[in-house]
Structure 1
Amino acid sequence: MGLFSTLFSSNIQAPVAAIGSLLDELYTSDEEAVNLEILKQRVAQQPNLVQSKINQVQASHRSLFVAGARPFLMWVCGLGFLFAFVINPILQWIWPDVGTPQLPLAAMLELTLAMLGLAGLRTVEKVKGVAK
């Protein structure tokens, strides 16, 4: 009986509790890992939410210098694609010896697709009545 009373006495509880808390810190349960992952995603999402709010404020502004960047870039991309796919082939067909400049279509396509995404957001703003 002396061994059992020694094992289950209050003197042994402190080291067992210390070892248990150390093991708990070393190993993370699945539930804790999921909670940490959710927290990481929320923290990572915060800059995007802030940028979205900034974009909404800029798009609803009445000044052309604040709200006019997106339409200007869309016109630039549109004119670039007009030249690349309509005017340039016609010029090459009419004067093949002269040659025409080549535009960086990969960069223009990337910019145009991003701007079309923003144009979709602009349409939503106009439908909601927050844009001019």
Structure 2
Amino acid sequence: MGLLDLLPVVGAAAQKLIDLIPDPGARAKAAEEYQRTLLGIAAKAESEQREINKAEAQSASLFVAGWRPAIGWVCACALGFQYLLRPLFAWAGGVWWPQLPPLPGLDSNLWELMFGMLGLGSLRSFEKTKGVAK
């Protein structure tokens, strides 16, 4: 459990404390400072994770640097099974073995996994529209 996991709890408590400030100007300033602090914490965590990712990618060990490609290949194989092999097996089973029970299907979480791995989520698009992405 990391620090970022505690942010919802800390955020609710901090918001209640900020709401107790009677002066509207001071309340707005405190809220702005709180938001700035949160953004700093998130940016630091992202920067640290980026450094970890760089170190993992440069490793010669397959167990360190190979886990992301392995997940990618598993996702690609699962998508190939779901949308290529499974329909072909269902067709062949219906033609030659009508008593064969249907093959189990995979759910739509494959698409979410693939979009996340390929960076096709809305966050990347948002970064590009704001001119932050390189």
Matched residue type, 2:73: W
CA gap 1:67/1:80 in 2 versus in 1, 3 angstroms: same
CA gap 1:53/1:100 in 2 versus in 1, 3 angstroms: farther
Unaligned runs of 5+ in 1: 1-24, 118-132
The answer for the alignment partner of 2:76 in structure 1 is: 78
Matched, 1:47 2:45: yes
Tell me by how many angstroms 1:34 deviates: 1.9
The answer for the alignment partner of 1:107 in structure 2 is: 109
1-side partners of 2:35 and 2:107: how far apart? 39
Unaligned runs of 5+ in 2: 1-20, 120-134
SS in 1 for 2:104: coil
2-side partners of 1:35 and 1:91: how far apart? 60
Tell me by how many angstroms 1:83 deviates: 0.9
Could you state the TM-score of these two structures normalised by the residue count of structure 1?
A: 0.59
Matched residue type, 1:109: W
Tell me by how many angstroms 1:32 deviates: 4.1
The answer for the alignment partner of 2:66 in structure 1 is: 68
1-side partners of 2:118 and 2:64: how far apart? 18
Tell me by how many angstroms 1:29 deviates: 4.6
Structure number with higher relative contact order (C-alpha < 8 Å, ≥ 6 residues apart): 1
Could you state the TM-score of these two structures normalised by the residue count of structure 2?
A: 0.58
Aligned residues: 93
Task: Determine what percentage of the aligned residue pairs are the same residue.
Answer: 27
User: Given that residues 84 and 102 in structure 1 are in contact (C-alpha distance below 8 angstroms), is that contact kept between their aligned partners in structure 2?
Assistant: no
Tell me by how many angstroms 1:67 deviates: 0.6
Greater Rg, structure 1 or structure 2?
1
CA deviation profile, 1:77-98 (whole Å, cap 9, x unmatched): 1111111101111111121232
